[in-house]
Chains A and B, each alone.
Chain A
Amino acid sequence: MARYVLRRAGQAAVVLLGVSLIVFALMQLVPGDPVRVALGTRFDQETYDALRARAGLDQPLPVQYAQYLGNALTGDLGVSFRSGQPVTASLLERLPATLSLAGVALLIALLIAVPLGLISATRSGKVSDYVATVFSQIGVSIPDFWMAILLIVLFTSTLGWLPPSGYVPFTEDPVDWLAHIVLPAVTVGVVSGSILTRFVRSAVLESMGQEHVRTATAKGLPGSLVLRRHVLRGALVPILTVTGVQLATLLGGVVVVEVIFAWPGLGRLTYDAVAARDYPLMQGAVLMFAAVFLLVNLLVDLLYAALDPRIRY
């Protein structure tokens, strides 16, 4: 087990190195010059050169990359062009809002997907299956920005129950935190949940077709017991896989929802960084997403072993 984790960590390091190199190379290919953006429409050559030199952009590319990599190893991802703030700190600042949104949204997604998927699968072909399918179809098809606006119109403008936007840290006021997180989390959760529902349905269906399930039913075990002990357990591994991917995606930030709900998450930070060609911040954000993705995947793989006795590392 320990050796397995160590080996995976080693692989992750190689992947991250590759990601950093690719990202660095891509930045050079993207048209648009960060110094020009920083200066806006007012432009003169001297100011331009001065700012370029200050940002270290006049150095040869390999030198820039080597410096970047060296600093990154010590946890220093450089300084943002746009804000002049350290990239690492800027990313970490946004982490709590992103974590809470991803967490609550995923919870909502699972609360939707697991029961709906189960109903769908166990009552395959019946009316409730169709209802569940239609629901998940709608959830996937509705654009999230539109659903967000509808929710705001309903719960804020019409009912006046919830604040339309903004973020309050949990540590500051848990009730206010909840009031602010509901709408964005539901928006994200319904979309994620709808996607997950289909996976849960097919995983459960597949699991129901397994021989040991037929044996259990033939033994005369009650349906609920078969479902809990044999079907669900078999279906958990594929469900966990998709859930892991969903979580990793959400942790990367949900740009549209963050923009609409004025949520101080990583998605908006990254989006702004791309628009301003803020290379250090872009690189840092991509590296962090890659790291989060690898970490979540590793955890998922380790959980497999806990859930399925057939898997051992």
Chain B
Amino acid sequence: MRVSRWSTALAALVLTTTACSGGGESVDVGGSGSGGADASGAQLVAALSAEPDQLDPHKTTAYASFQVLENVYDTLVQPDEQLEMRPALAESWETSKDQLTWTFKLRNGVKFHDGKDFTADDVVYSYERIIDEELSNAYRFESVKNVRAVDDTTVEIEVKRPTPNLLALIGGFKGMAIVSEENVTSGDIGRGPVGTGPFMLDEYVSGDSITLTANEDYWGGAPELGSVQFTFVSEPTVALANLQSGEVQWTDNLPPQQVEALGSDGTIETGVVPSNDYWYFAANQARPPFDDPLVRQALAYGVDREEITEAAKFGLATVNQTAIPRTSQWYYDYAPYSYDPERARQLLDEAGVENLTIDFMVTNEYPETISAAQVMADQLSEVGVKLDIRTEDFATWLDDQAKGNFDAFMLGWLGNIDPQDFYYAQHHSDGANNYQKYSNPEVDRLLDQAGQETDDEQRQELYNQAVEIIVDDASYIYLYNPDVVQGWAPELKGYTVRPDRAIRFHQASLSE
């Protein structure tokens, strides 16, 4: 008898302590979360959805890394909010008459975070590193013949052929950052990058957080914030809970189904802007019957983009039948396809195709490909096409893509700015990323010509012509441009959501 009473009491005690232990002692929650605030300014805590793999801007390909590095590094030129290229480390530039030499005048008195002066040699070193070590951005220098320092504040880039998109190539994102040679040779750059940007690295706690402090000597003016701490919260519900409880003041990881409701109650501000990313699917033209444009057009008529967007993105995307979004100066309004199952069936008949089964490759790395594929499978069954969805992890997916081991796949392209980046590598016969094996001499000619045309209006015209053919041939079947969705506490001021997803906290401040 005594035994059971004793154990029951203990069990009850255990249950109570496990249920609320720590409850009475929890401090520093529900507050501002700015415990480590710097004397000179407030600390912003920002929750990213993933942890950077490394902080070497030339070697990482992870978006999470660039979210941090955006605030640490500079490029020669950088895109403004409308994605037009503006001066950054370079104050001005000019091109020679024959368009084969670009001369950049560098900003004076810029220092790296370690106090070293920034000079033309750093630009040459950074670019040569990318080219000589064949790093993943080397393709951006494909037309570049030579980079040299004329004097301390002048850099000259020689190109093999006119390259009107050179500014976007060298300044489009922080993968083209100007790094410090010492930082690279010491091997510290992966965890302790030294840049010229508005914030400098303070602390990196693996798996937990990265803290940056303000660079008071920044050439663009000292930031208002004293420091920025990036934490890594991969579960959207938890990121939202962090934002609501005041543990963090900014996140790009909101549960999509809640975004609409969140904006309305005023405790959280949300920013939604169409991005420059686009999602598409493509059929393998090396495999019959997908070599027949009629079959590909049938697929383009057989899918309802609105419904796909709703299912895959909870409506947080804009349907598009080309790659470049409405917000861009390069947008071309061309949308020949409508959701028309009848038309799709006719086209398949015309092509003499019956009982078509498609091995459709998607990846759990990007869950929206899975949900979109499920919706498309349903829609295409209406026209007698069976979509066999094959879900793979990204490593296997990329392998199969490279080997051409698919009938069709869905994926997206992220962060392009110039039309050449949107169309060349994907649709030119020699394009490095033409995995669907599309080849049309007319498109090749137009893209080659557009890539060298220096007059913007002429360029636009050439791209428009190329795009019409690409869309008519259904080389890619374009689906939508996703929105950039971010949420922050109302105290955060001076922050803008950008279509290129660059996260810049230089101008941001936290009010009391």
Interface residues of A (CB under 8 A from B): 31-34, 36-44, 46-47, 50-51, 82-85, 90, 93-94, 97, 108, 111-112, 115-116, 118-119, 122-123, 128, 132, 149, 152-153, 155-157, 159-167, 175-176, 178-179, 181-182, 186, 189-190, 222-224, 227, 259-265, 268-269, 272, 275-277
Contact = CB atoms under 8 A, between A and B. Distances in A.
B25 A260 contact: no
A115 B23 contact: no
B190 A83 contact: yes
Given A31-B395, A161-B22, 15 more contacts: A37-B395, A39-B136, A43-B432, A90-B206, A93-B206, A94-B206, A119-B7, A165-B238, A176-B28, A181-B22, A182-B23, A186-B19, A262-B238, A272-B51, A277-B395
B22 A182 contact: yes
Nearest to B432: A44
Nearest to A175: B25
A276 B53 contact: yes
Given A94-B206, A167-B208, A276-B53, A128 B8 contact: yes
9 contacts: A32-B398, A42-B433, A47-B134, A82-B53, A93-B206, A162-B29, A178-B25, A179-B29, A262-B234
Given A160-B30, A176-B27, A112 B18 contact: yes
B428 to A, nearest CB: 13
B134 A264 contact: no
A264 B241 contact: no
B265 interface: no
Given A85-B54, A156-B241, A164-B238, A269 B393 contact: no
Contact of A179 (B19, B26, B209, B411): B26
A176 B8 CA distance: 31
Interface in B130-176: 133-136, 138-139
B14 A111 contact: yes
Contacts of B483: none
B476 to A, nearest CB: 13
A47 B398 contact: no
Contacts of B402: 36, 43
B11 interface: yes
A123 B4 CA distance: 8
Contact of B238 (A41, A94, A167, A261): A261
**Size category, B interface:** 35 or more
Contacts of B396: 31-32
Nearest to B207: A264
B4 A164 contact: no
A123 to B, nearest CB: 6
A149 B54 contact: no
Given A163-B247, A176-B28, A82 B365 contact: no
A172 to B, nearest CB: 10
B27 to A, nearest CB: 6
Interface string B240-253: 01101101000000
B3 A227 contact: yes
Contacts of B433: 41-43
Contacts of A85: 54, 190-191
Given A47-B135, A227-B3, A265-B207, A175 B27 contact: yes
The 10 closest A-B pairs by CB, nearest first: A264-B207, A32-B395, A50-B134, A115-B11, A164-B241, A182-B22, A179-B26, A264-B208, A84-B190, A111-B14
Nearest to A256: B235
B54 A82 contact: yes
B25 A179 contact: yes
Contacts of A175: 25-27
A41 B398 contact: yes
Nearest to B53: A82
B11 A116 contact: yes
Interface in B19-43: 19-23, 25-30
Given A179-B25, A275-B365, A119 B238 contact: no
Nearest to B365: A275
Contacts of B425: 42
Nearest to B12: A115
Nearest to A228: B3
A46 B209 CA distance: 35
Contacts of B10: 115
A155 B233 CA distance: 18
A275 B244 contact: no
B231 interface: yes
